[in-house]
A and B are shown apart, each in its own frame.
Chain A
Amino acid sequence: MNGLRRHFNGRTAVIAAPFLFLLAFFLLPFLIVGKISVSEMETVAFKDVLIVVDGAVQLTLKYANYVFLAEDPLYLETYLSSIQYAAATTVLCLAIGYPFAYFMARAKPTVQPALLMLVMLPFWTSFLLRVYAWRGLLTEGGWAHSVITGLGLDHGLAALGLIAAPGQLIHTPFSLVLGMTYNYLPFMILPLYANLAKMDLRLLEAAADLGATPWVAFWTVTVPLSKAGIIAGSMLVFIPCIGEFVIPELLGGPETLMIGRVLWDEFFSNNDWPMASTVAVMMVLLIIVPLAIFNKYQAEAQERTR
């Protein structure tokens, strides 16, 4: 709408307000975190990075934190472990969520809004409370605990290394992944459902007409077409999972290393702000690649709908 440009001064304001807001409160803080990660902690404040000494500008960058991070095996292990847990959660969400979204999308059109509402309802209820609920379920005496130990499944879980010992279901990798899967399932289901519901069913009719069985048609037609939904859902689960804090804190245990908790502990328990900042910077770098993929997909999807 070129004719608008000359005459709509409001346009600059409309772009500028959110832009400046984000620059000031999103980008700038990241830059500050970067700066602090290379500075030294002095009691409650930190030394300035740039100081003027005898008329000359001196740059004191303390890389010690980064070096420490690279050398300490615990941090490396924690990053890897965070990625592993996030990946496991994503795969589980996909395994449970894809059929779920598929059957929802194929249900009678009159029923679908109700199904959608039922999926959304837990989302609107406090996630903190629902995570807390799993704690109750998995502690001794809780329903889930009783069912799992009653069926003897806990021995299988222990054999797989998912729990430390039979009978101890809480504060284990098992409870952590279960909690994360539970929490992020709607985030996987919704984009998948949106994608599958929009699919033209006549494509399946065409496939059948050309000799494909329903099973073959599913894998050769439906799944490839839902690729965008799969990627969107996976990104919406994987990326935030890496940095999760609340669920590892409430459902995880001493051996479930998650980088979100490490950052929190560095900040609140150790009061080591530069270290926490360093961890944060590394987390962002870790996430940038999947984030860039996500953004690219979003932009492409937008272009396609124009």
Chain B
Amino acid sequence: MPPTTPNPAFLQIQDVVKDFGATRAVNNVSVDIAQGEIFALLGSSGCGKSTLLRMLAGFETPTAGRILLGGRDLATLPAHERPMNMMFQSYALFPHLTVFENIAFGLKREGMARDRIAAQVEAMLKLVQLSAFAQRKPHQLSGGQQQRVALARSLAKQPQLLLLDEPLGALDKKLREQTQIELVNIVESVGVTCVMVTHDQEEAMTMASRVAVMSEGRFLQVGAPAEIYETPATRFVADFIGNVNLMDGTLDVDEPDHCVIGCDDCKHYVGHGITGTAGMAVTVAVRPEKITLTRAEPAGEFNRVPGTIKELSYFGSFTVFHLQLASGARLKVSQANTQRHNDDRLTWGDTAWASWSDSAQIVLTQ
């Protein structure tokens, strides 16, 4: 059952560092995770996210720093005594045990009575909709079914914290979309706090309530998916998440309610002020879907640039255009194909104007 007043600092990671010999895998990471939250660690391979997860599980010990769960320091607890369970990337289902026995494994270790174990296992099987498969062995199940057994097994002990290691990595695209939603529903219905590790942006953004973008052992930004996407804190984050156009320029005018930035190809009028000094170098980031392409020249002198269409990629529901600008730089524009038939569709070689509103830009100083 979801708690009534969730503890905002249920899982506390404080200044955690992990060294493997001379390599620093996790470099001073701190965050408070709320009870009932689904928190994602997002990054490419080698960024330290799996190491951090393993430290939570107890398979690695931090070189420095503390990890607290519900106020209790986990340093004194070995892996098999921690009140958290992990769903492994390879599922790690015991091949010599049936589905039932796999799920019951953790409950048996607790010394639970047999009838209670049976009841709990049945409940878990019902939760993941695999009640008919209780007596099968793992090799007799499909990939998606195995994943659900792994999930059921990790929830059977009603852990205080659920750890997911690349939960959807092995599934194909269709199955992944379906499972993403199912997984979130199950986790939320159980109400367990969840930390997941993934390299897949889509997975992190759709499933988590907050995402931490990790690189080289550090947190670059922590926030809700929309926040990370629409308000990235650095160039790296802006570039890492989704697609983005980055334009370097100088801050010409800086007023409390607006600012003007001059770039090679165009001038930006941004509808809010930023903290900075005139003449400072900044980068303006604009997401491809925030840009409109028209044949006709838009009015005004700001937030528009002409160019020639050099590439286009048709994705069915939308098309991505690569617009070559005067300076040689390319602008990526994404347009939804809202009309089935369009006789005036833009194509290679056409000249077009790209334009955007004054709230579309993200101004980055790092």
**A interface residue numbers (CB < 8 A to B):** 1-4, 6-7
Closest to B76 in A: A6
- Which B residues are in CB contact (< 8 Å) with A4? 78
Map CB proximity to A onto B56-71 as digits: 1 under 8 Å, 0 otherwise.
0011110000000000
Report the minimum CB–CB distance from A46 to chain B (whole Å).
50
Q: Shortest beta-carbon distance, B311 to chain A, in Å?
A: 31
Write out the residue numbers on chain B whose beta carbons fall within 8 Å of the beta carbon of A1: 59
Task: Indicate if the CB atoms of B78 and A7 lie closer than 8 Å.
Answer: yes
Residue of A nearest to B77 (CB): A3
Closest residue of chain B to A7 (Cβ to Cβ) is B78
What is B's interface to A at a CB cutoff of 8 Å? 58-61, 78-79
* Contact present for A2 and B78 (CB under 8 Å): no
Closest CB in chain B relative to A108 CB, distance in Å = 24
Shortest Cβ distance from A1 into B: residue: B59
Closest residue on chain B to residue A6 by CB atoms:
B78
A4 to B79, CA, bound (A): 8
Number of A-B contacts (CB under 8 A): 13
For residue B58, which residues in chain A have a CB less than 8 angstroms away from its CB?
3
Q: Which of A1, A3, A4, A6 has the most CB of B within 10 A?
A: A3
Indicate which residue in A3, A6, A7 contacts B59 across the interface (CB closer than 8 Å). Answer: A3
Q: What is the CA–CA distance of A3 and B56 in the complex, to the nearest angstrom?
A: 11
Q: List 11 other contacts, CB 8 Å, given A3-B58, A3-B61.
A: A1-B59, A2-B59, A2-B60, A2-B61, A3-B59, A3-B60, A3-B78, A3-B79, A4-B78, A6-B78, A7-B78
How far is B79's CA from A2's CA once the two chains are assembled, in angstroms?
10
- Complex CA gap A103/B61 in Å reads 50
Min C-beta distance of B69 to chain A, whole Å: 15
Cα A11 to Cα B79 with chains together (Å): 17
Contacting residues, chain B, for A7 (C-beta < 8 A): 78
User: Considering the complex of A and B, which 6 residue pairs feature the smallest CB-CB distances, nearest first?
Assistant: A3-B79, A3-B58, A7-B78, A2-B61, A3-B78, A3-B59
Q: Which residues of chain A come closer than 8 Å to B60, judged between CB atoms? A: 2-3
Contacts of B78 in A (CB 8 A): 3-4, 6-7
What residues on B are CB-neighbors of A3 within 8 Å? Answer: 58-61, 78-79
Distance of A306 Cα from B78 Cα, bound (Å): 25
Determine the distance from Cα of A7 to Cα of B61 in the docked complex, in whole angstroms. 13
Q: A6 vs B75: C-alpha distance in the bound complex, in angstroms?
A: 12
List of B residues within 8 angstroms of A2 by Cβ = 59-61
Kindly state the separation between the CA atoms of A1 and B78 in the bound complex, as whole angstroms. Answer: 11
Cα-based distance from A6 to B77 in the complex (angstroms) = 10
* Closest residue on chain A to residue B82 by CB atoms: A3
> How far, in whole Å, are A45 and B59 apart by their CA atoms in the complex?
57
Minimal Cβ-Cβ distance residue in B for A4: B78
Residues of A within 8 A of B79 (CB): 3
User: B191 to chain A: closest CB distance in Å?
Assistant: 28
13 contacts between A and B (CB under 8 A): A1-B59, A2-B59, A2-B60, A2-B61, A3-B58, A3-B59, A3-B60, A3-B61, A3-B78, A3-B79, A4-B78, A6-B78, A7-B78
A9: shortest Cβ distance to chain B, in Å? 13
CA distance A2 to B60 in the complex (A): 6
Chain B: CB-nearest residue to A8? B78
A164 CA / B61 CA spacing, docked (Å): 71
Shortest Cβ distance from residue A149 to the other chain B in the assembled complex, whole angstroms? 59
Question: In the bound complex, what is the Cα–Cα distance between A164 and B59 (angstroms)?
Answer: 69
Question: How many Å lie between the Cα of A146 and that of B78 in the bound state?
Answer: 73
Chain A nearest CB, measured from B120 CB (Å)? 26
Distance, CA A286 to CA B79, complexed state (A): 49
B61 — which chain A residues lie within 8 A by C-beta? 2-3
Q: Which residues of B contact A6 (CB under 8 A)?
A: 78
Tell me, in angstroms, the Cα distance from A183 to B61 when the chains sit together.
Answer: 52
Min CB gap B66→A, angstroms = 16
Q: With A and B bound together, what is the CA distance between A4 and B78 in angstroms?
A: 7
A3 to chain B, nearest CB (A): 5
Q: For the complex, what is the distance from the CA of A2 to the CA of B54, rounded to whole Å?
A: 11
A3 and B79 alpha carbons, distance in the complex (Å): 7
A172 to B61, CA, bound (A): 65
CA distance A216 to B248 in the complex (A): 55
Complex Cα spacing A6 to B78, Å: 9
Expressed in whole angstroms, the Cα–Cα distance for A3 and B58 within the complex equals: 6
- CA of A2 to CA of B63, assembled, Å: 11
| Assembled-state Cα–Cα distance A198/B260 (Å) | 64
Alpha-carbon distance A3/B61, docked complex (angstroms)? 6
> How far, in Å, is A8 (CB) from chain B's closest CB?
9
Q: How far is the CA of A2 from the CA of B55 in the complex (A)?
A: 10
Nearest chain A CB to B290 CB, angstrom units = 45
Q: How far is the CA of A79 from the CA of B58 in the complex (A)?
A: 57
Give complex CA distance A5, B59 in Å.
Answer: 11
Task: Kindly provide the distance from the CB of B259 to the nearest chain A CB, expressed in whole angstroms.
Answer: 51
Q: How far is the CB of A1 from chain B (nearest CB, A)?
A: 6
Whole-angstrom CA separation of A2 from B78 in the bound complex: 10
Taken together as a complex, chains A and B put the C-alpha atoms of A67 and B79 apart, in Å, by 62
A6 to B79 CA separation, bound complex (whole angstroms): 11
Q: How far is the CB of A150 from chain B (nearest CB, A)?
A: 58
Q: How far is the CA of A6 from the CA of B80 in the complex (A)?
A: 13
A3 to B59 Cα, complex, angstroms: 5
Closest chain B residue to A2 by CB distance? B61
Q: What CA separation (Å) do A1 and B57 show in the bound complex?
A: 11
Inter-chain CA distance A3–B62, complex, in Å, is 10
